[in-house]
Structure 1
Amino acid sequence: MGRQSISNGHKLTILRDLEERLHNGESLKSVARSHGVDPSQLRKWRKNREKLEMSSKGNKSLGKGKKSSITHLEELIIGWAHELRENGIGISYCRLQVRACQVDENFRSKPKVQQYHMIRRLCMSNGLVVGRVTNVAKDPPQQAIDEAREWLQEIRPVISVSNLAQIYIINMDQTPLPFSLAGQSTLELRGTRSVTVRHSSNNKTRATASLAVAADGSKLKPMIIFKGEPRGTVATRELPASRYANQLALCCQHAAWQDNENMSMWIDECLVPHIQQRADGAPVVLFLNHFSCHYSDIVKAKFDSIGVQLKLIPKGCTSVVQPIDVGVNKPFKDRIKSQWWEWMIGFGEDGGNIPTPSREDVQHWVVEAWNSIGAHIIQNAWRKTDLSYFPEE
């Protein structure tokens, strides 16, 4: 009998037909013959029926295939990919291939075709597949709303205990900080064929800000992650000498993303100072999204050591239940952009290239923007995540 590929969904259909025909007195061999499969295959499928029902019906096999040879890059590649998708940024195998070349010299030395297949296998083993972009409604999908409602019902008893103060109910998230915020559109006279916009040079440079807020309206010290060597000259000499070093946690990372190392730094420099005045035994609840470095073993152990309860927000629900996404990121970025425009205007209206903003410029913008976010903005963000699903009676 020739080889054929049968999806898990089709296997289940054959098994249902088998049960009906066995009930009517037919033999397993005759059923197998009618479907063009070997009887031993039917027996194997019957034995693994529960696994088949739990698997994706489009899959051809219950196995995950050959194990990826670059699992040591999983956090740097897959974690980074999840963070990009959280921010709505498109990714591809080739983009992840470039990322892997940037962070691993051994990977970079391999042939390009081999690199591509290694990245593809790593993605597949982590459930990342190619998907077409779809038109998304302005309002969140009903499924996300239902999942958010169920999650909130589970969380409310946790944050309603009498000894949990609002100042110790905290949400943290990352947001990108482009060094140039020039938009892709402008007003121009009708009929103009070439439309240009003035921006600073090197306008693809960016950093990442890790922002955290508490339910009482208070703010934790922000962290800025610049692109660079974690133990290079910028990280060890320039940033510690910054005039904003007391108001910001500053560090470098190869791609300017949050990772295990600077996540631990955020805990020590931003979270611990905020919660150190609490009474002995008083609980602290921290809400984070499903970014890999938020719940790695190293980070979870650190949270446990300081008595912080980590609560992960369901995937796809951050836009409706994460306070920073709901009501803090936009006013923060609006204030950053306003300062960037003021900085741009400072170079006058003459032509010529405008230099890239310095790291100190970015630090200044973050400090000014963060200080101008009032407690009422933060409280409204927390209130919105709650009242969206639990309206006042």
Structure 2
Amino acid sequence: MRVTAMFSVTLSGKNLPPGIIWKGETTTTFERVGGCLVIQQPKPWVDQDLLLRWLEHTFPTLYDGPGQFLVWDLMRAHIGKRVKAACVKKEVRMYVVPGGLTSYLQADDVGIYKSFKDRMSGLITAGKESDAVTYMRGGNPDPRQSRWLLTGSPLPGRGSQKKLS
């Protein structure tokens, strides 16, 4: 099962709600689940369309005011033509961290992503070992049955589990 997580922080240090992308039927709006913004699409990664929807949802005040800027890594969706055009239209300047330097210049790569991945790996392993997971014909876990990861609901047959915090 592939899941993509998007993390962002403001210049003042405020963490914004994480975005979680599941593989599934396309949903056009973000749903708030367990403090996260959840959306589904056939390929569970960030593309330009999803990034533009996320910007409109997450940054309505920032994105609509002049004199704002965003700092991106060199991911393809971040530097796509439509994202650039939307930022130009909204008078939002873009700064891109050169390839190969992200881990040195973005503390979130170590400080946030690592702790998130460490916590998620235990939950995913527990879920796979429980009877809460159903599998699709190809042998992959059915992502529609994986909402317990974000809600912190107990796994059937396993007692309670820790919530993400």
CA contact (8 A) 1:220 1:271 kept: no
* Structure 1 runs (4+) greater than 6 angstroms displaced: none
Larger Rg: 1
2:108 paired with 1:320: no
1:303-314 matches, cutoff 5 A: 303-314=87-98
Higher helix share: 1
Pairwise CA distance, 1:308: 2.1
Q: What amino acid does structure 1 have at the position aligned with 2:16?
A: L
Residue 219 of structure 1 corresponds to which residue in structure 2?
Answer: 15
CA contact (8 A) 1:289 1:314 kept: yes
Q: What amino acid does structure 2 have at the position aligned with 1:248?
A: L
2:63 paired with 1:267: no
Counterpart-to-counterpart distance in 2, 1:225 and 1:311: 24
Q: Over aligned residue pairs, what C-alpha RMSD do you find?
A: 3.2
Closer, same or farther: CA 289–219 of 1 in aligned 2, 3 Å: same
Higher strand share: 2
1:73-88 matches, cutoff 5 A: none
Pairwise CA distance, 1:268: 0.8
Secondary structure of 2:110's aligned partner: helix
Counterpart-to-counterpart distance in 2, 1:285 and 1:212: 13
Overall identity of the aligned pairs, in %: 27
Closer, same or farther: CA 342–317 of 1 in aligned 2, 3 Å: same
2:4 paired with 1:208: yes
1:1-393 matches, cutoff 5 A: 205-230=1-26, 235=27, 244=33, 247-252=36-41, 254-272=42-60, 275=62, 281=66, 283-340=67-124, 343=127, 347=130, 355=134, 356=141, 358-364=145-151, 369=164, 372=165
List gaps (5 residues or longer) in structure 1.
1-204, 373-393
Q: What amino acid does structure 2 have at the position aligned with 1:211?
A: F
CA contact (8 A) 2:73 2:97 kept: yes
List gaps (5 residues or longer) in structure 2.
135-140, 153-162
Pairwise CA distance, 1:261: 0.7
Instruction: Give deviations 1:60-113, integer Å, cap 9, x for gaps.
Output: xxxxxxxxxxxxxxxxxxxxxxxxxxxxxxxxxxxxxxxxxxxxxxxxxxxxxx
- In the superposition, the TM-score normalised over structure 1's length comes to 0.33
- Count of matched residue positions in the alignment of Structure 1 and Structure 2: 147
Counterpart-to-counterpart distance in 1, 2:110 and 2:92: 23
Secondary structure of 1:250's aligned partner: strand
CA contact (8 A) 1:249 1:269 kept: no
Instruction: Give deviations 1:224-278, integer Å, cap 9, x for gaps.
Output: 2222343xxxx26xx87x66298414131x32121111011111112335x37x9
- In the superposition, the TM-score normalised over structure 2's length comes to 0.70
